[in-house]
A and B are shown apart, each in its own frame.
Chain A
Amino acid sequence: MNQSLTIEAANRRFGWFMSAPSLALLFAVILFPVFWALFTSVHDYTLITPNFDNFTGAANYVEAVNTPEFRHSLLLTTMFVAGVVAIEFVLGFIVALMLNSVERFKPIYYGILLCPLLMNPVIVGLIWRMFLHPSLGIVNYLLSVAGVEPVNWLGSTKVAIWTIIMVDIWHQVSFMIVLLLAGLSALPKEPYEAARVDGAGTIRAFLHITLPLMGPVIMVTLLIRLIFAVKTYDLVYIMTRGGPGTSTDFISYFIYRTAFVSLNIGEASAMSAILLSLILLLTGYLYRYMRTLT
């Protein structure tokens, strides 16, 4: 008994020893900045007076919540995230289902699909900004060939957010496809045969077998995509700079502006903390909700 305990203790020690380097690295590049930001968020810290002399408590948080632009960009981000995640999920699932039944040339399809995903968002933004140029872009040219009036893709307050959503879908939908496809191809074949004999057609087999079995994969895919979508920053920075006006002023971009344009690091940190807690809440909720499904 004692001996097995000491062996267990030794194993535990060895485990800590082996994971220590990565834990240290994790602490240095992730946990430390997070705590630093939290610490900053309760101080009046600006780039003009970069010091922690004035402890302000919750003042930065109150200030942030009372800023109409902050609330506006939160709302805008929510719309954007809901839009891209929903559309990418539906589109991705449909394509994944189709690819799952494809027998030949699978690697080629994979290769094509992965291309956008391999591109840096900055490059994606630059490419699309050229494509979508009101007078010189190829998109409006093609539309004009088809007899459609040119669209002011990035310069109209009504259209700009949809343009960003569209580009994000182009860029990220393959992520959904690849993950969902991996999940689909790992599903057991037998329950489908049993369901066919039991009398389930394609649609009912999908509803009663595929969807529930895919539950965990769907959960993970949605979560990852959701978190990444909330953080969308580079596309906006390259394509619209939050404009026109504040029509694409997503939360990450707004925080960036608060920190490095308005130089108010303390308040920006408070906003980041609010964003972080929102994402954590959402993640926790989604995780628990999906666990009840499976």
Chain B
Amino acid sequence: MASITLKNMNKIYANGVSAVREVSLDIRDGEFMILLGPSGCGKSTTLRMIAGLETITSGELLIGERRVNDVDPAERDIAIVFQNYALYPHMTVADNLGFGLKLRGVAREEIDRRRDRIAAMLGIEPLLARKPSQLSGGQRQRVALGRALVREPQAFLLDEPLSNLDAKLRATMRTELIKLHRNLGTTIVHVTHDQVEAMTMGERICIMKDGEIIQVGAPMDVYRNPTNTFVAGFLASPPMNLLEGRLDASSNGAIDAVIGDARLQIPASLAAGFQTHHGKAVIIGLRPEDFHLSASAARHAVELIVVAITTEVLGPEVILVANLAHARGPEVQIRMPRDFLAKPDEAVKLYFDLSQIQIFDATTTRALPRQASK
């Protein structure tokens, strides 16, 4: 097991495209780290640089204490699971699992022993004699995972390993990967564009955009304190409502967040971080689950009227799509309990929990520091 350290890593392709810019990240020994971002954000390139499949244009990469910039992938002692599994199509499952060990000159009996143990662990023993073309997607995924596990490497690199699975299988494999990590304790770097995977699996999430790291932190930390509007809008589904507005000074040091005709008075105790932006244009972030039907459910409730457009019944909850304040107000998505009902154009009185409000600078899109409410 080993830590992985990225220092100011850059990747510029031969055609001049800069895929990764100044990426610095400390992945701790035994950590489950998620690289999250939309497609083309450089997360896969970063992973491939760690694996050694892409050269590092500049910067440093350390696995453990060793600088591995120019070390061959085989010598880095890492294993990678590819999105499309990349199994050897002409080999049986057993040979796929044993190939890496065979290349490393491990003795036959040892290969058989380790292979059988991993096969038992992943429940793929009955498949050992088959070829990849005779396996289902989920089975291939397990074999690809097994091929990585059997090597007992210092770290696992997972490149969107679940994205080719159907939703149900994906959920199962998510849990299995978490269990696996708990049992092995090996460092895992998991690349995904799926924020559910990121939230549920990672010990820490590293969010990337346009080749740069935007924010690194524990899932709930990133969720509660997004560093900018990109992170706020990317995590969770439905995402945070990001509404253009303005901050006005109010009495007693309170601040009014003005969104169209709606006015949310933020008490002085919560508004300390926002004082710099009096009268300025801001982006106001309201999480869908911070709207409540009763004032008592919120810590710092403020009354709001919304006009229903439609409701999406999901089963465990209802997503209310509505206009804020009146029918021409900005559109918001609101998470409601499962028995909630509203007709189109019906005005609904809700309470927003001001302790959860997020304010972003309109030009830099960076979050203003929020005073944590006790």
Q: Which residues of B contact A194 (CB under 8 A)?
A: 80, 82, 86-88, 147
What 0/1 readout, one digit per residue, does chain B (87-109) give for beta carbons within 8 Å of chain A?
Answer: 11111000000011001100000
Task: Pick from B87, B88, B103, B104 the residue with the most CB of A within 10 Å.
Answer: B88
Provide the B42-73 mask, 1 if CB < 8 A to any CB of A, else 0.
Answer: 00000000011100000000000000000011
Residues of B within 8 A of A199 (CB): 74, 100, 103-104
Across the interface, do B99 and A208 meet the contact criterion of CB distance under 8 Å?
yes
* B151 nearest in chain A by CB position: A198
Known: A197-B53, A200-B103. A191 touches B74 (CB 8 A): no
Asked if A190 meets B79 with Cβ closer than 8 Å, knowing A196-B73, A198-B103, A213-B89, the reply is no
Question: Is B78 an interface residue when CB atoms closer than 8 A count as contact?
Answer: yes
How many whole Å from A216's CB to the nearest CB in chain B? 10
Q: Does B84 contact A (CB under 8 A)?
A: yes
| A residues near B73, Cβ cutoff 8 Å | 196-197
In the bound complex, what is the Cα–Cα distance between A199 and B74 (angstroms)? Answer: 4
Residues of B within 8 A of A198 (CB): 74, 99-100, 103, 147, 151
| A201→B104 CA distance, assembly (Å) | 11
Known: A197-B53, A200-B74. A191 touches B103 (CB 8 A): no
CB neighbours of B74 from chain A (8 A): 196-201
> Interface centre among A195, A201, A215, A294, by most B CB within 10 Å?
A195
Given A198-B99, A198-B103, A204-B103, CB of A209 within 8 Å of CB of B88: yes
Task: Please give the distance in Å from B244's CB to the nearest CB on chain A.
Answer: 45
Which A residues touch B151, using CB under 8 A?
198
Contact A197 B89 (CB under 8 A): no
Set B72, B86, B147: member contacting A193, Cβ < 8 A:
B86
State in angstroms the CA–CA spacing of A212 and B100 once bound together.
17
Among candidates A191, A204, A208, A294, residue contacting B86 with C-beta atoms closer than 8 Å:
A191
Q: For the complex, would chain A's binding face be called helix, strand, loop or mixed by DSSP majority?
A: helix
Q: Which residues of B contact A212 (CB under 8 A)?
A: 90-91
What's the minimum C-beta distance from B243 to chain A, rounded to whole angstroms? 44
Residue A68, interface by CB 8 Å: no
Closest to B82 in A: A190
In the assembled complex, which residues on chain B have CB atoms less than 8 Å from the CB atom of A201?
A: 74
Q: Does A188 contact B (CB under 8 A)?
A: yes
Q: Mark B332-357, 1 if CB is under 8 A from A, else 0.
A: 00000000000000000000000000
Bound complex: CA A196 to CA B90 (Å): 17
Which residues of chain B have C-beta atoms less than 8 A from A190's C-beta? 82, 84-86
Q: Name A212's closest neighbour in chain B (CB-CB).
A: B90
Q: Name which of A193, A209, A213, A294 has the most chain B CB atoms within 10 A of its CB.
A: A193
Please give the distance in Å from A290's CB to the nearest CB on chain B.
Answer: 13
List the A side residues contacting B79 at CB < 8 Å: 197
Instruction: Give A189-236 interface residues, CB cut-off 8 Å to B.
Output: 190-191, 193-201, 204, 208-209, 212-213, 215
B-chain residues with CB within 8 Å of residue A213 when the two chains form the complex: 89-90
Q: What separation, in Å, do the CA atoms of A48 and B151 have in the docked complex?
A: 78
Nearest CB in chain A: distance from B75 CB, A: 8
User: Shortest beta-carbon distance, B341 to chain A, in Å?
Assistant: 50
Bound complex: CA of A213 vs CA of B91, how far in Å?
10
B173 → chain A, closest Cβ, in Å? 19
How far is it, in angstroms, between the C-alpha of A191 and the C-alpha of B88 when the chains are bound?
A: 6
Cα-based distance from A198 to B88 in the complex (angstroms):
11
Q: Which residues of B contact A197 (CB under 8 A)?
A: 51-53, 73-74, 78-80, 100
Cβ–Cβ < 8 Å partners of A208 in chain B:
88, 99
A196 in contact with B99 (CB, 8 Å)? no
Report Cα–Cα, A213/B52, bound state, in Å.
24
CB-defined contacts of B82 to chain A, threshold 8 Å: 190, 193-194
Q: In the bound complex, what is the Cα–Cα distance between A231 and B100 (angstroms)?
A: 46
Residues from chain B with Cβ under 8 Å of A193 in the complex: 53, 80, 82, 86
Question: What 1/0 flags go to B160-174 for Cβ under 8 Å of A?
Answer: 000000000000000
Question: Could you tell me the distance in whole angstroms from the C-beta of B35 to the nearest C-beta in chain A?
Answer: 18
Q: Closest B-chain residue to A193, C-beta based?
A: B53
Q: Contacts of B89 on A, CB cut-off 8 Å?
A: 188, 191, 213
Report how far A213 CA is from B74 CA in the complex, Å: 22
CA distance A204 to B99 in the complex (A): 11
Interchain nearest-CB distance for B164 vs A (Å): 12
Residue of B nearest to A187 (CB): B89
A199–B79 Cα distance when bound, in Å, is 10
User: Given the complex, which residues of B lie within 8 Å of A215, measured CB to CB?
Assistant: 90
Closest residue of chain B to A198, judged by CB? B100
Between A193, A194, A209, A212, the greatest number of chain B beta carbons within 10 A of the residue's beta carbon is seen for A194
User: Chain A residue with minimal CB distance to B95?
Assistant: A208
> Residue of B at shortest CB range from A103?
B14
The answer on a CB contact under 8 Å between A294 and B90 is yes
Bound complex: CA A294 to CA B89 (Å): 10
User: A106: shortest Cβ distance to chain B, in Å?
Assistant: 16
- Closest approach, in angstroms, between the C-beta of A54 and any C-beta of chain B? 56
Closest residue of B by beta carbon distance from A211: B90
- Which residues of chain A come closer than 8 Å to B88, judged between CB atoms? 191, 194-195, 208-209
Given A191-B89, A199-B74; 15 other pairs, CB 8 A cutoff: A188-B89, A190-B82, A191-B86, A191-B88, A193-B80, A194-B147, A196-B72, A196-B73, A197-B51, A197-B52, A197-B100, A199-B100, A199-B104, A201-B74, A208-B99
13 A-B contacts (beta carbon < 8 Å): A190-B82, A193-B86, A194-B80, A194-B86, A196-B53, A197-B100, A198-B99, A198-B100, A198-B151, A200-B103, A209-B88, A212-B90, A212-B91
